[in-house]
Structure 1
Amino acid sequence: MISYEDGELELRLCEVKYAAQLYELVNNNRAHLREWLPWVDSTRSAAYTQMFLESCVRQLAANNGFNCFLFYRGELAGNIGLHSIDWTHRKTSIGYWLASGYEGKGLMTKSCHAVVDHLFGVMKLNRVEIKAGELNVRSRAIPEKLGFKLEGVVRQAEWLYDHYIDHAVYGMLAQEWKQSNRAVLS
């Protein structure tokens, strides 16, 4: 299964035993996360977070994707994972978030690179998408740094608490990733 470690950053598959720690991280970053993520208000307890992590374990067991924690210098910093895998068309989409104190260190770009490398190299998928709020400059910078192509903007793609937001849709194909011959980002 996927693994990545560079001395400071480590990706670990989500485990239920981290429910309280993950809830605390979300709870301490509510205002920061709520700006772009629609699930923050419904995350009301460690028990709810445990149910989410149990669904991640089931997702992995069903071969329908995975979710990983990002640990930075041993501390839980965020999450990256797949929404699901369409095995017929060999494609998936990636979602991610990072607690505010960990931004600006390249952690999510490195994590996305590792995940995309795994998806194309090990899982032999053909297409990976990343969708981000059109105005979410930080989130959009990640696929742009990794060479994803902006394929368009989907208008009013998501209801975010009290308004719709548009999504910028980025795509990467296995052949493009292979041709880019990308080294691990430093």
Structure 2
Amino acid sequence: MIHPILQEAPSSIETGRLLLRQPMPGDGPLLFEAVEESWPELTRWLEWAKKKPTEMDMEEQARHNQVRCLNRTDLIFQMIRRDQGQLLGTCGLYSVDWSVPRFEIGYWCRTSATGQGYVSEAVHRLMELAFVELGAQRVQIRCDADNIRSSKVAERSGFILEGILRNEMRSSEGQLVHTAIYGMIPKEYEEWKATSSFVRDHKKVKL
């Protein structure tokens, strides 16, 4: 296996409505705006949302995330509306194990853009990136078992619920939570793609 830093991966990809591009310096204010708007939801579901960040914190995170992309430890993308240039959130392929290869899809979306199919659209493109372009043998999605919206994204995208890890982690408020693990392998991806409304490249994904 070649060293992860030598793995080829795109710096930006597109869907019908979205530009997914890797983080860069200067993203802090845009990220801060999205986080500020969405803090009540983020702090409920995401472990990292324990302390409300400042604009400088978000700029620091953007730069750290850029380094993670360069090192190929994660492939992180800012989720941006192509028609308005508005940053909607962050998504990507995390917990990368290039020896398999294995990836974990993660995402969050600003509150005002939820329920409009943007997350599913991004997830479908990340699935294509993982399985078709990066040769994934496994892709998974983890979420709080009580996070119905996130679970629905995984289920609509063809992922199989493999189990519930009880008391697996603590929420941002310190409460023990159960974690749902959804998984997919190449054969299941091909079956899902053949029977779903998935449309690749620049055509709009029907959600």
Q: Same fold (TM over 0.5)?
A: yes
Shift of residue 59, structure 1, vs aligned partner = 1.3
Shift of residue 175, structure 1, vs aligned partner = 2.2
Identity of aligned residues (%): 24
1:106-117 equivalences in 2 (<5 Å): 106-117=117-128
Match of residue 186 from structure 2: 174
- Spell out, residue by residue over 1:97-139, the C-alpha distance to the aligned partner (whole angstroms, 9 max, x if none): 1111111111100100000100111111110110111111100
- Structure 2 unaligned runs (5+)? 1-9, 200-204
Match of residue 97 from structure 1: 108
Match status 1:16 vs 2:28: no
Shift of residue 178, structure 1, vs aligned partner = 2.0
Match of residue 153 from structure 2: 142
1:19-34 equivalences in 2 (<5 Å): 19-34=28-43
Between Structure 1 and Structure 2, which shows a larger proportion of strand residues? 1
- Structure 1 unaligned runs (5+)? none
- TM-score, structure 2 normalization: 0.84
Match status 1:84 vs 2:92: no
Match of residue 14 from structure 2: 4
- TM-score, structure 1 normalization: 0.93
1:61-76 equivalences in 2 (<5 Å): 61-72=70-81, 73-76=84-87
Q: How many residues align?
A: 185
Q: RMSD across aligned C-alpha pairs, in angstroms?
A: 1.5
Match of residue 167 from structure 2: 156
Answer yes or no: is the 8 Å Cα contact 2:22–2:69 preserved in 1. Answer: no
